[in-house]
Amino acid sequence: MNKKNNRQIIAIGGGGFGRDPNHRKIEQYIIDQAHNDNPSVLFLPTASAEDKIYIDNYYECFGALSCKPTHISFFSRTPRLNGLFNKADIIYVGGGNTKSMLAVWREWKVDILLRRAYERGVVMAGVSAGAICWFTQGITDSWASNLNTLDCLGFLDGMCCPHYLEESDRKPTVHKMLQDGKAMKGYGIDGGSAVHFINEKFERSISFYPERKAYFIEKDNSIKEKELPHIVL
Listed residue (130, 146, 113, 112) closest to 43, CA to CA:
130
Whether 128 is catalytic is: yes
Catalytic residue among 40, 128, 205, 207: 128
Neighbours of 38 (CB within 10 A): 11
Under the banding of pLDDT at 50, 70 and 90, the label for residue 77 is: confident
State pLDDT tens for residues 84-129.
Answer: 999 999 999 999 999 999 999 999 999 999 999 999 999 999 999 9
Distance CA 28, CA 91 (A): 14
Whether 23 is catalytic is: no
Distance CA 191, CA 193 (A): 5
Under the banding of pLDDT at 50, 70 and 90, the label for residue 143 is: confident
Using the predicted structure, report yes or no on whether residue 2 has a pLDDT greater than 60. Answer: no
State pLDDT tens for residues 173-212.
Answer: 999 999 999 999 999 999 999 999 999 999 999 999 999 9
pLDDT value of position 5: 78
Average pLDDT over residues 132-138: 98
Which is more confidently placed, 109 or 146? 109
Q: Could you tell me what percent of the chain has a pLDDT over 70?
A: 98
Catalytic residue among 163, 193, 205, 207: 163
pLDDT value of position 1: 47
Residue boundaries of the structural domains of the chain: 3-232
Decide if 125 contacts 18 (C-beta within 8 A).
Answer: no
Distance CA 224, CA 187 (A): 12
Under the banding of pLDDT at 50, 70 and 90, the label for residue 79 is: confident
Using the predicted structure, report yes or no on whether residue 149 has a pLDDT greater than 50. Answer: yes
Q: Could you tell me what percent of the chain has a pLDDT over 90?
A: 88
3-232: in CATH 3.50.50.60: no
- Helix or strand or coil: residue 40? strand
